[in-house]
């Protein structure tokens, strides 16, 4: 077998280590070595965005990195964005706004939106749509994901106003 490289990496604040071949994709490492299967693989060529994780806080495609390259970095996956008992704001917003159907693309949206709202806490509907335009979803038609971005922003801001205030208007 090919040479194994020890990879030490912090995922969702927890230190993990495993020895893997250099060609092991970060997505496979997270899913099958660390068994954090929340990160999904939809295309393995960087287009769909389902495998998006945060690398030191910034969204990256985990299928376009090797696990060895993540050594020493801080990774956040969907599992790090909240739990069933204590959902994070983006997770809560998606649930409230019917922002998912099959749920396969959803983890990539959650990491992407989480990072986006840190830098853009008050997006317009148009900006919200642009923010999610690097992720493919085949179920929702995106409309309720846009709504979820706006709702998540409200939850984060701590305002309890209805998401309806900032609904998308047709072009």
Partner 1 sequence: MKPAPFVYHAPRTLDEALAALGEVGHDGKILAGGQSLIPMLSMRLATPAHLIDINGVAGLDTIEVADGYVRVGACVRHAQLERSEEAYAALPLLRQALRNVAHPAIRNRGTTVGSIAHADAAGEMPSVAVLTDAVMEVCGPAGSREIAAGDFFTGPLETTLGADELVTAVRFGRFPSNTSTGFVESARRSGDYAVAGVALALTSGDGAISAARASFVSVTDVPDVLDLTEVLSGATAEDVAARADGVIEAVRAHVTPESDIHASADYRRMLAAELTRRLIAEVISR
Partner 2 sequence: MTTRQFGAPVQRREDPRLVTGNGRYLDDLGHTAYEAAFVRSPHAHARIVDIDVTEALDTPGLVGIWTHEDLEGPVGEHLPVLIPHPALIAPRTGRALAKDEVNHVGEAIVFVVAEDRYAAEDAAAKIRVDYEFLPAVVGVEKSRAATELVHDDVPGNVSAHLLQEVGDLDAAMAGAPHRLSLDLSIERSASIPMEGKGVYAKWDSDAEHLTLWSSTQTSTGVRAAVATRLGLPLAKVDCITPDVGGGFGSKIMHPWPEEVLVPWAAMILGHDVKWTEDRREHFISSTHERGQLQQVEVGFDDEGRVLALDVKFWHDNGAYTPYGIIVPIITATQLLGPYKPGTYRVEFWSLYTNTVLVTPYRGAGRPQGVFAMERTMDAIADHLGIDRAEVRSRNFILPEEMPYDHGLMFQDGRPLKYDSGDFPASLAKLKALVGWDDFAAYREEAEKHGRRVGLGIGCYVEGTGVGPYEGAHIVIETSGRVNVATGLTTQGQGHQTAFAQIVADELGVPLESVHVTTGDTRKMAYAVGTFASRAAVMSGNAVALAARNARAKALKIAADALEVSADDLEIEDGVISVTGAPDTRMDIGMTAVLSNPLRYAFDEAAKAATQFAGTFDPDKPPVADDEEPGLEGKDFYSPTQATFANGMHAAVVETDPVTAEIRILRYCVIHDCGTMINPMIVEGQVHGGVAQGVGGALYERMVYDESGQLLNASFMDFLMPYASEVPHVETDHLETPSPLNPLGIKGAGEAGTIPGSAVIASAIEDAEGFPITRMPISPVELWELRQRHERGEIPSLRRAHSTTTE
Residues forming the site for partner 1 (CB under 8 A): 2-3, 5, 21-23, 25, 28, 44-46, 49, 52, 55, 58-61, 63-66, 68-69, 112, 130, 133-134
Phi, psi of 131 (to 5 degrees): -65, -30
> Which has the closest alpha carbon to 21: 37, 39, 33, 38?
33
Residue 156: name its binding partner from partner 1, partner 2, none (Cβ under 5 to 8 Å by kind). none
As measured in angstroms, the least distance from the Cβ of 84 to partner 1 is 26
* Contact between 14 and partner 2 per CB under 8 A: no
* Contact between 141 and partner 2 per CB under 8 A: yes
Within 51-110, the residues that bind partner 2 by CB under 8 A are 77-79, 81-84, 87, 91, 94-96, 98, 100-107, 110
Q: How far apart are CA 85 and CA 163, in angstroms?
A: 23
Phi, psi of 132 (to 5 degrees): -100, 10
Strands (E), 12-99: 14-21, 52-55, 58-61, 74-76
Q: How far apart are CA 16 and CA 32, in angstroms?
A: 13
Contact (CB, 8 A) for 141 and 102: no
Among 142, 152, 153, 155, binds partner 2 (CB under 8 A): 142
- Which residue ranges make up the site for partner 2 (CB under 8 A)? 1-2, 21, 23-24, 31-32, 35-45, 47-48, 50, 77-79, 81-84, 87, 91, 94-96, 98, 100-107, 110, 129-130, 132-146, 168-171
């Amino acid at each position: 077998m090919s040479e194994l490289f020890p990879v030490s990496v912090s995922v969702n604040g927890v230190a993990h280590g495993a020895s893997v071949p250099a060609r092991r994709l970060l997505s496979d490492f997270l899913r099958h070595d660390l068994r954090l299967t929340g990160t999904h693989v939809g295309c393995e060529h960087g287009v769909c965005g389902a495998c998006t994780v945060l690398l030191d806080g910034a969204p990256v495609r985990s299928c376009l990195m090797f696990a060895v390259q993540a050594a020493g970095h801080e990774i956040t996956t969907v599992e790090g964005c909240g739990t069933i008992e204590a959902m994070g704001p983006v997770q809560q917003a998606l649930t409230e706004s019917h922002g998912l159907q099959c749920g396969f693309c959803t983890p990539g949206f959650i990491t992407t939106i989480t990072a986006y709202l840190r830098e853009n806490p008050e997006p317009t509907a148009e900006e919200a749509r642009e923010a999610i335009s690097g992720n493919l979803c085949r179920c929702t038609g995106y409309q309720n994901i846009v709504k979820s971005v706006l709702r998540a922003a409200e939850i984060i801001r701590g305002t309890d106003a209805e998401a309806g205030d900032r609904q998308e208007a047709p072009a």
